[in-house]
Structure 1
């Protein structure tokens, strides 16, 4: 028989914890099912040099400020993992580790959540699985022909594994710029390739300004005013110190996208080539939502339509932390608090607790 609770949160990273905080404040019973072996969500698996875009005090979940990391203005990923582990422990959240959710199903007046550790019957579900487990690789002519190593952002750890090699980094977003800078500073023979010329945000812009821009866009849209463009209007790359230093010293210069891969590298339309031992694809992610497939929530283009965080085709399901379509800056530490609060309030009202 399935175990019972009011709400199942699928995913125990920053979004799941923020949702748990607000549900707890509203007196809603819940469990968090997390596939990871330990706390910290995707932050456990990032590359070694990754740092936040914002100081600690502007990178906090609701209810508890992130402590400052000694000697660092922008905390590293290990500090974030420690913060999330402490946050989870402080509020004594009911987190079930190693629980991979296979599917969410209609079950009469409830939803049945099937996990490899057992089933749960709930009145509502919050999906907070993020995107890290769904890396996106674009179609590229000749990919199977290339004889070197190919890896996505999720498999990159440090420059040391590429010592003495020629590396091509593909991608003009933050991950591409940061990994390219990481390799360049280590003296790796680097070629950085982007679809369009890199668009850097102003050097004084960090996560605080990005959150403000996302919030201003949300308010404009809600009030029927002209779309401000949000974060996308400012640029694609936050010029964190390592990226800024590599750019300003000439270590970080982008080339346009190549037309195909060869056995030993890549080739551009004019016939010029670059040899490579490895290619790092920093080409983004897609939402990890396969567990919701049994509910049939996707629209004609494969997107799940939502009103805020609430799935339009199943109002008992909320999606949290996947990007602006589930709340402004909701995929960030500072940004997930507001949509998490809204989702918790909607669920409490559904349950008759408000």
Structure 2
């Protein structure tokens, strides 16, 4: 569908159109989908669309692609899954990369990906808000720039690609203002170097919390780990293969509960009884729990050995903070120099997308569970909300591109291959430079 031509038609025949559009200080017509978010999910959608001849525009509030990876992750971070499960569509990792690429290698991969598919996001543009205008039949996406300049983008299709990790989750703990020491989220943690010799309490026993504890140990800090809930800890590799890869292979032949039982038996043999270390396992198996709730099992990279040796101490939940002191739920009190909150992230879609049908106001995720949460009404799509990492985002990106191609074919002649190419050239030459 030739969006610019359709808008021109509406403008010529609708006397209200000029009044509606004049509300914005600057208006840009986008002859293709607008994608909000330049992380791996947004890049994947843009590449899939481009491979089919569709132009698109990415709006990104930060100053770079993959801002979570570039600006808010710790230095020692590596992909927790083997690289073949973290590839974006249409381009694999370099063969010389290790099985578990480093943070720097993954960022290099994403930057190379963006260059290959000529993806040029509009940086430093924060969307607020985006809503569907029934009068003109298009999405109106308003942004605020670095210098508070306002722009409105008008498009037929809108892709929410801000993902599951848009905003840090910072819990409210009684007495936080009295603690006096450093309290920071892992999004502001780089390495344990600045905590050498200090007692540090890490809150949260997911993959990040476990790895931060290991990093602190490597810099001779004295970490303790708050474990507030049950958790599955699995070895990163089993029987010479990645645990994730082995699980995916077994699921092709065996039911999920049987695969879970196998994983727990092998984990018990390799890691021992984690409950004796204060890490009790949930009643549901790791794969079943992941499928139902999205809670990811911890893949151990060495932290468990530090817990066994006493280098990392396991603590119960926090009741209250006092001056450099933490009171735990069991009544015990202990002094700490700093607290690291490995409490995860959340979706921020409800803060900028004004619609009530596709996304839940409560958690910012699509209301329909995987694999049906990628498509909404009126040209609205979602990518990166599957709770299945980059693999799930890649699946959604392909579906979105295929769906738009199917829709255009059903609309027939106005959007044939030649005109898609014309639109692509037009958008690349006339769109504002990033």
| Shared fold (TM-score, shorter chain, > 0.5) | yes
Does the C-alpha gap of structure 1 residues 148 and 210 become closer, same or farther in structure 2, counting only changes over 3 Å? farther
Does the C-alpha gap of structure 1 residues 347 and 235 become closer, same or farther in structure 2, counting only changes over 3 Å? closer
Higher alpha-carbon deviation: 276-285 or 254-263: 254-263
Once the 2 structures are TM-superposed, how far is the Cα of residue 261 of structure 1 from its aligned partner? 1.5
Does the C-alpha gap of structure 1 residues 144 and 323 become closer, same or farther in structure 2, counting only changes over 3 Å? farther
Q: Provide the rounded CA distance (Å) in 1 between the counterparts of 2:313 and 2:95.
A: 33
Once the 2 structures are TM-superposed, how far is the Cα of residue 249 of structure 1 from its aligned partner? 4.2
Specify the alignment match of 1:50 in structure 2.
77
SS of 2:122's partner is strand
Q: Provide the rounded CA distance (Å) in 2 between the counterparts of 1:247 and 1:268.
A: 19
Once the 2 structures are TM-superposed, how far is the Cα of residue 267 of structure 1 from its aligned partner? 0.9
- Equivalent residues of 2:319, 2:329 under 8 A apart: yes
SS of 1:345's partner is helix
Higher alpha-carbon deviation: 132-141 or 274-283: 132-141
- Paired residues in the alignment total 337
2:190 paired residue among 144, 148, 157: 157
Matches within 5 A, 1:264-283: 264-283=324-343
Cα deviation, 1:228-252, whole Å, max 9, x if unaligned, reads 6163689631113x43553454433
Does the C-alpha gap of structure 1 residues 73 and 213 become closer, same or farther in structure 2, counting only changes over 3 Å? closer
1:7 paired residue among 33, 49, 65: 33
- Equivalent residues of 1:210, 1:231 under 8 A apart: no
Specify the alignment match of 1:224 in structure 2.
none
Q: Provide the rounded CA distance (Å) in 2 between the counterparts of 1:309 and 1:211.
A: 24
- Equivalent residues of 1:14, 1:41 under 8 A apart: no
Once the 2 structures are TM-superposed, how far is the Cα of residue 178 of structure 1 from its aligned partner? 0.7
Does residue 101 of the first structure (1) align with residue 127 of the second (2)?
yes
Pairwise CA RMSD: 3.0
SS of 1:349's partner is helix
Once the 2 structures are TM-superposed, how far is the Cα of residue 154 of structure 1 from its aligned partner? 0.5
SS of 1:96's partner is coil
Specify the alignment match of 1:239 in structure 2.
300
SS of 1:81's partner is helix
Specify the alignment match of 1:124 in structure 2.
157
Does the C-alpha gap of structure 1 residues 244 and 264 become closer, same or farther in structure 2, counting only changes over 3 Å? closer
Once the 2 structures are TM-superposed, how far is the Cα of residue 296 of structure 1 from its aligned partner? 3.7
TM-score, normalised by the number of residues in structure 1: 0.84
Q: Which structure: larger Rg?
A: 2
TM-score, normalised by the number of residues in structure 2: 0.70
- Equivalent residues of 1:214, 1:230 under 8 A apart: no
Q: Provide the rounded CA distance (Å) in 2 between the counterparts of 1:18 and 1:157.
A: 27
- Equivalent residues of 2:228, 2:317 under 8 A apart: yes
Matches within 5 A, 1:125-274: 125-204=158-237, 206=242, 208-209=244-245, 212=248, 229=288, 231=290, 236-240=297-301, 242-247=302-307, 249-274=309-334
